[in-house]
């Protein structure tokens, strides 16, 4: 019992010296800086490719997106972060097609689990790289992802 007590104290001191040795090394070798100077480096900061910041819907230069309104992402979301409002659009040949009216994303509810991205059959949404989402008003975390006047990209069904 007493032996275990002193063994734990010895291991804690040994761990402390290991950490201090590493700190001392970087203190004396100033050219090998390992820390990011955030927020001073916002312009040059690169996040890892696998980083999940928020759900975004990319649009091309013609304001077209790939979302067909199938609602697979809405169904896959475990906590109701995504709400897709659709409308019926009459095509030139007289057929009716379902198109999105609003793609609503509640960032305050999102757990960044990536299930909606995996479920999307047309790769219409992806995870963005932005990470600064602090706001004073919770209403600002509700975003409409489809841009005003956007339409479905040709060839996507």
Convert the pLDDT of each residue in 71-91 to its tens digit: 999 999 999 999 999 998 887
Distance, in Å, from the CA atom of 56 to the CA atom of 145, rounded to the nearest integer, reads 6
Q: Kindly state whether residues 76 and 146 are assigned to the same domain.
A: yes
- Looking at the chain, the number of H-run helices and the number of E-run strands are 3, 7
pLDDT value at 51 more than 80:
yes
Q: What is the pLDDT of residues 102-150, one digit of tens each?
A: 999 999 999 999 999 999 999 999 999 888 888 999 999 999 999 998 9
Look at residue 93 in the predicted model and tell me its pLDDT.
84
Q: Kindly state whether residues 62 and 106 are assigned to the same domain.
A: yes
How many domains does the chain divide into? 2
What range defines the domain where residue 97 resides? 54-152
135 Ramachandran zone, left/alpha/beta (phi>0; psi -120 to 50): beta
Q: Kindly state whether residues 92 and 18 are assigned to the same domain.
A: no
Q: Output the pTM of the full model.
A: 0.72
pLDDT band at 27 (very low <50, low <70, confident <90, very high): confident
The CATH number given to whatever domain includes residue 135 is 3.30.70.3270
């Amino acid at each position: 019992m007493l032996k275990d007590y002193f063994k734990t104290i010895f291991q804690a001191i040994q761990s402390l010296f290991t950490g201090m040795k590493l700190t001392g090394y970087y203190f004396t070798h100033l050219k090998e800086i390992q820390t990011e100077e955030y927020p001073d480096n916002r312009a040059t900061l690169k996040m890892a490719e696998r980083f999940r910041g928020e759900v975004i819907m990319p649009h091309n230069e013609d304001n077209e997106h790939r979302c067909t309104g199938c609602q697979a992402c809405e169904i896959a979301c475990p906590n109701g972060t995504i709400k897709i409002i659709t409308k019926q659009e009459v095509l030139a040949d007289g057929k009716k097609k379902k198109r999105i009216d609003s793609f609503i994303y509640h960032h305050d509810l999102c757990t960044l689990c990536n299930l909606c991205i995996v479920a999307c059959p047309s790769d219409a949404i992806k995870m963005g790289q932005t990470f600064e989402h602090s706001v004073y008003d919770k209403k600002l975390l509700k975003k409409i992802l489809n841009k005003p006047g956007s339409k479905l990209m040709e060839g996507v069904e």
